[in-house]
Amino acid sequence: MRITTIMILLITSASFAADVTIEPDRMLRINDTRTFIVGLYENPQDDAVLQDAVDAGINLIYAKPDQASLDRILNAGAYAWLNTGYSLDLSTDADNRKAALDALLHDFDSHPALAVWEVPDEALWNCWYGPWLWLSGDQRPIIRKHLESIEDLEQKKKVTLLLEEMKTSYNFADFQKGDELSTQIWEALGQESPRPNLKVADAEPNAHTMARGFLDGRDYLQANGLKHPIWMNHAPRNTIPQLAEFNLAADMAGCDIYPIVKGFNGHSDLVNTRRSSVGDYTLRMQAAAPDKPVWMVLQAFGWADLRKDATEEDIQEQRRPTHDEMRFMTFDAIVNGARGVLYWGSAFIEKDSHTWKDMLNVVSELKELNSILAAPDAGPFTITLAQTWGSVDRTIKVLAKEHDDTLTLIAVNEYQGGLTYTINGLQKWEGGTLHHGPTDQHAPIKNGTATLRINGYGVQVLNVGK
């Protein structure tokens, strides 16, 4: 079957660009097939590993901007995306950047493997992150080291007081004052700041400038025959208005969120830092990109994997997600409206590890469901919860899909405890039965309702039968 698929892909599109459009319900259509995106931010160098990923169900893979990388992905039976880099931002050095965009279009936009262009990763957040990280944090130990060499007590006292005042200013979001105090500190030390041009107060105007630059870059590409949509990935940060301004230059948007951590500050800065924050961020991304597809980037690594100095204790605390956690996060994004999921961090894990195999297991389930996931949403359906012992500050989300005259319901319990729930609105399937094989539940549909049980952070794929 795989060889046949590859041959069809090669024969039908060997000389033509992939035809990629976005449906009114935000689902991607590639070469006349509605497609739920399952992506990988890694292009494995081992051909066998790449093929295993594609066979499991990965259909979109990150590629380097070269023909060989695209050809290799095409031969494996998948599509690719390329990053434009900051050439898309025409707010500065516009002539050179237009030339770079021209070269990208000429060299790659008609390649049959290419499905999507991507802007620089987390571009909005990086407007803030660089200056904030340096000025409010990383420069402090350097300043303190200089303080140790100062013999003049009055000078040392002055710098120490300025340092505390700067810390207070940043803590109270007085960015301009904090930046000014940073400059005063380096002057008082008699030293040149290692990064004098970084200013937290400049982050907002710089972000506005970059957003306009990306929009100009998008318009330039479209005026010159752009064949593919543009995807923008954000950090799980920034306000919805900031995100929305950047998303004007994108055809689809989303964010990366990696909440499976222990003994770590956490990736989500929402009140909810649990695995269900994936669903919360999916809703935020949709609010920031109305009527556009949302693709979510999910965790396929442990935070300790990113550290060369990680101890055994770090590895235990900043662990990798389990299979059930990866499956939950995937379907939590889906039931909250994601039209695609992509996995990041697999480049840092062993390909014989449980985490890699667990990811492919989840991807295989998505492959089996892809035609269903790509189908139009059905419903609406509502959920009623039975009373239980807990506070139940989260609920069960249900996504319904009708495909080939069959109804499939995906239920995700965002609460950590088990719940009994009733699905309302099933009158069309009156007399049928909702089946969940893994828990051997067969819920009859009576008066348009069916009642089931689900475990904490559980995922159920339910089918209607007679």
* DSSP string computed for 17-41: ---EEE-TTS-EEETTEEE-EEEES
Q: Is residue 314 part of a domain?
A: yes
Residue finishing a domain among 343, 373, 403 = 373
pTM of the model: 0.94
Looking at the structure of the chain, the number of domains it has is 2
CATH number at residue 43: 3.20.20.80
Q: CB-based contacts of 2: which residues, under 8 Å, 6+ apart?
A: 54, 55, 77
Flag whether 445 is in a domain.
yes
Per-residue pLDDT, 265: 65
Domain residues for the domain of 385 are 377-465
The DSSP code for 227 is -
Residue range 34-50: average pLDDT?
97
Same domain, 40 and 114: yes
* pLDDT, tens only, 206-229: 999 999 999 999 999 999 999 999
By C-alpha distance, which of 252, 229, 249 is closest to 117?
A: 229
Q: What is the pLDDT of residue 11?
A: 43
Which is more confidently placed, 300 or 3?
300
Strand ranges of the sheet holding 382-385, from the earlier edge strand across to the other edge: 382-385, 419-424, 449-454
Residues 249 and 345 in one domain: yes
Q: Is 294 inside a domain boundary? A: yes
Q: Domain of 419: which CATH number? A: 2.60.40.1180
**End of a domain among 373, 393, 424?**
373
- Please, what is the average pLDDT of the chain? 94
Q: State residue 465's pLDDT score.
A: 75
Whether residues 216 and 335 fall in one domain:
yes
Residue 1 has pLDDT above 50, yes or no: no
**Does the pLDDT at position 340 exceed 80?**
yes
Residue 360 shares a structural domain with residue 324: yes
191 domain residue, yes or no = no
Same domain, 354 and 302: yes
Mean pLDDT of 380-407: 94
pLDDT, position 263:
63
Does residue 223 share a domain with residue 330?
yes
pLDDT tier for residue 16 given thresholds of 50, 70 and 90: confident
Residue 24 maps to a domain: yes
Answer whether residue 147 is part of any domain: no
What is the SS3 assignment for 294? strand
φ and ψ at 346, to 5 degrees?
-65, -20
Specify whether 316 is located in the same domain as 381. no
Residue 195 lies in a domain: no
Residue 157 is assigned to a structural domain of this protein? no
pLDDT in tens, 288-328: 999 999 999 999 999 999 999 999 998 999 999 999 999 99
Asked if 222 and 112 sit in the same domain, the reply is yes
Residue with tokens 């506070």: 391
Supply the pLDDT for residue 6: 46
Confidence of residue 4 (pLDDT cuts 50, 70, 90): very low
Same domain, 276 and 406: no
Sheet of 20-22: strand order equals: 20-22, 28-30, 33-35
Domain limit, last residue, from 331, 348, 373: 373
The answer to whether residues 369 and 390 belong to one domain is no
CA triplet 422, 425, 429: central angle to 5 degrees?
Answer: 100
Same domain? For 224 and 265 the reply is yes
The predicted pLDDT at position 404 comes to 87
Q: Are residues 446 and 342 in the same domain?
A: no
Q: Which two tokens stand for residue 110?
A: 């008609």
